[in-house]
Homo-oligomer: A and B are copies of this chain.
Amino acid sequence: MAEIPLRHRSPVSLRDCNLSKSFELIGDRWTLLILRSAFWGLRRFDDFQADIDVPRSVLSNRLAALVESGIMERREYREAGQRARIEYPLTRMGQALGLPFMAMTAWGDKWLADGISPLTLRSKSTGQKFSVALVDEGGKRAKGSDIEIVIHSRFARKRRR
């Protein structure tokens, strides 16, 4: 992997950058852990609290922020003969974070655990392993040297220095 060419300033401002906007919403240790638990199917306050041992006031704040940004939903539900309770399921927007999370997990497997993955994803029908990859429209994996970054002119910032 070649070194990235030196530059002194990002060509897209933070204001226009959807990556930095994403980080503003979920780029915090507890938020990320809450989402991890949510992907496992957790939905209730006390379950989150026990699962990741987060301070209750922090959990409260983070859930409110996740609801505010549309990643989770705050919903009443009622089990037969029980009183109403609250649950926090992922919205479609939240579920769509699955792909970045899988990519992040694969990175962790490779670089933090010597390639040992506690879990793998595979096809129910064919049994083949799934993995996250950068592919073209036909599903062919991108080669590092063949990738070109195109910045939409409306967002491009003048190069300085």
Binding site for B on A (CB under 8 A): 1, 3-12, 14, 16-25, 27-29, 32-33, 36-44, 47, 50-52, 70, 89-90, 92-93, 95-97, 99-113, 117-126, 128-142, 145-152, 154-155
As for how many copies of this chain the complex holds, the number is 2
Distance to closest chain B CB from A99 (angstroms): 5
Q: Are B99 and A22 in contact (CB under 8 A)?
A: no
Q: Are B123 and A142 in contact (CB under 8 A)?
A: yes
Contact partner of A9 (CB less than 8 A), chosen from B32, B51, B131, B135, is: B51
Known: A18-B112, A118-B151, A123-B147; 17 extra A-B contacts, CB below 8 A, are: A4-B90, A4-B95, A10-B40, A11-B40, A17-B36, A21-B112, A96-B107, A99-B132, A100-B107, A102-B103, A118-B155, A119-B151, A121-B134, A123-B146, A128-B138, A131-B134, A135-B139
